[in-house]
Amino acid sequence: MSKIKKDLANVLIEDEILLSEDLNDSRLYFNRELSWLEFNQRVLEQAKDENHPLLERVKFLAIVQTNMDEFFMVRVAALLKQMRSGSDNIAPDGMSVEEQLSAIRSRVQQMKQDQQQCWSEQLRPQLEKHSVRFIEPDQYTPELRAYLSNYYQQGVHPVLTPLAFDPGHPFPFISSMSLNLAVVVQYGPYEKNFARIKIPDILPRFIPVPEELAGSRYGFVYLEDVIKDNLKELFPDNNVLDIYVFRVIRDTDLIIQEDEAGDLLENVDRSLKQLRYGNVSLLQVEEQMPKELLQVLMENFEIEQGRGIVTRTHTRMNFGEWFSLLKLPLPQLKDAPFKPSVLFTRDQRETIFDRIRLQDFLIHHPFESFDSVEEFISAAVKDPQVIGIKMTLYRVGSDSQIVQKLIEAAEDGKQVAVLVELKARFDEKNNIVWARRLESVGAHVVYGMLKLKTHCKLCMVIRKEGDGIRRYMHIGTGNYNPGSSKIYTDLGIFTASEQIGRDVTDVFNYLTGYSGKQNYDHLLVAPRSLRRKLEEMIDREAEVARSGKDGRIIIKANAVTHPSVIQALYRASQAGVKIDLIIRGICCLRPGLPNISENIRVRSIIGRFLEHSRLFYFQNDGSKEMYIGSADIMERNLDRRVEVLTPILEAQLRQVLMEKVLQSQLKDNQLSFELLSDGTYGRIRPEDRDEEPYNSQIAMLQAYTEASN
């Protein structure tokens, strides 16, 4: 077993049965950060998987990079803050802050090498076979070099700004995620100085080269190479001794003073302006960079020796920019396009509301189009009987048709109340813009809850009908964002249930006013009651199992980290409850331990679509219960956010979710990885189980396509 596997497991229990009665025992938990890194490794495995089309593999490589950048912006930055403050905080798995940073440093360096090897030894050579060529400087012909020199003079040189660092020039500010050149320049016979050149992000990283010069249909050179090749233009009277590429990631955790007397929107806006100056959490440098120059960077970025995270790379940095290759007109190297089915079609004989009044409707993205959600909002805006619309917005995109419709509704005199979560990470600026737009047309806008993020996905339409006021709801697992709905798997339900409607009304009163309601009749609402109810349902299954009957739990979510819920699952396993967890990302629960978690199986599904839906099933002694909603099993979701899970009240819809989602994913042997008790993930393969190959995402695509035909 490798050292990395041992690090991840934290403590291996070999040839012994864990008999600890203390469910707080650190040996029962995997480290959150290392578990996340293993998730990113599973994404990287997709880049290596030849079952995916070639450009889709490049996409996965880019996703690994953007995931890693966010990890350093948020998670590593938080650990570094703790370290600087002298915190002695110990994680549930028993690791100190310094131990976690040390393990992260080791794992990240290995993953970076794996990522670079995947590009240089697999993806790049295979792209070249398909006439997509990346040309290195030692491959430049005289004709190509002349072409690039002209390109540099015309479009690059005027944009560059070399910034010197010496007693007369302070160390230049380096923005997060920017690509930079560290240049060592000799002035005269003895004096050496340092200069920094930012690679302009307004220019394409990959410069297209004419076919006759590239020797390939699609030829590219790297922008940083072109700048390096023409540095004498920037330093004409000096000798350029060394040039090295480097990149930094900064802390982007927004620190907001949430004061009842203050204006949250203004506080967020002010904090965003300070965000660019966050502490450096990662420094990436070229492998050949000498120690003296690296020391200059570390000192000026205030990275302590042995504590900060520095990675060396022997190939290209920032694979996130490889997303642009998906624009190449090479459909044979991409996933086949598909047309999602439409839940609601326009019918002059009956409205959307007529249909929802008769029965609940499930919607499953991306297999069913997000257009149906937009049509629901659009119908509410146009319908003269609709008197009000209430909605929560978390991530909606910069060109949201839904927000435009809400603006239109407010302008038409309808009552529009919207909670726009200003603290949605990386969407703060966008949400501030939408909040101000909505306010400007008279909508009632709430910016969020003090000390809480509002993450629930709710929309309620209030309609005046012949028999009184009726409420129509959409409750979902994903954001009201048509872009993400094409690549994320998410669930939603349309309902006119009076019971659900009363609860949704109470949730909106809680969000917009001072409702102190703690318990809801049907909805599970965090942070008020969701965790307690979830644990009660888990404990109920344990009681069923203790009585000699079959206890059964299936949970599909993005992450499991909450110690209290993990302990409830351990207790249920000890009672004999059969538990399946379908967890895409982080899982701190340790399955397969005798007498503790031997009845718990954990799998992760990584494929073409990002698994994002949350679904909870409890057999309940035959009175089956199923919930969908916005919450993962994490401290932030259950204790520090407003989240909503809604029950699926109709037995027919519960059966659909069981067959099309849960059973399908438990059957998957093409996209699935199983979490083992040592913390490693093993790929589930049909040949190992004497099964026919089964891809749950393809199966769902086919099922919805057939149903729509």
Helices (H), 223-290: 223-229, 264-275
Structure tokens at 559: 């992450």
Measured distance CA(225)–CA(204) in Å, rounded: 13
**What's the distance, Cα to Cα, between the start and end of the chain in Å?**
51
The structure tokens listed for 118 are: 């995947």
Tokens representing 315? Answer: 């190939």
Distance CA 383, CA 291 (A): 69
Return the bridge partners of 422, or none: none
DSSP symbols for 105-116: HHHHHHHHHHHH
Q: Mark whether 612 is an active-site residue.
A: no
447 within 8 A of 422, measured Cβ to Cβ? yes
Burial state string for 76-104 with b = 16 or more CB within 10 A and e = fewer than 16: bbebbbbbeeeeeeebbbebebebbbbbb
DSSP category for residue 24: T
User: Which string of b and e fits 163-200 if b means at least 16 CB within 10 Å?
Assistant: bbbeeeeebbebebbbbbbbbbbeeeeeeeebbbbbbb
Which member of 52, 364, 365, 455 is catalytic?
455
Pairing type for strands 280-286 and 310-313 reads parallel
Other Cβ atoms less than 10 A from the Cβ of 508: the count is 19
What is the rounded CA–CA span in Å between residue 57 and residue 443?
A: 44
Q: How far apart are CA 107 and CA 676, in angstroms?
A: 18
- List 417's β-bridge partners, or say none: 390, 444
Q: Cβ(133)–Cβ(219) under 8 Å?
A: yes
Query: Which secondary structure element, helix H or strand E, spans residue 179, and what is its range?
Result: strand 179-187
Task: Enumerate the active-site residues.
Answer: 455
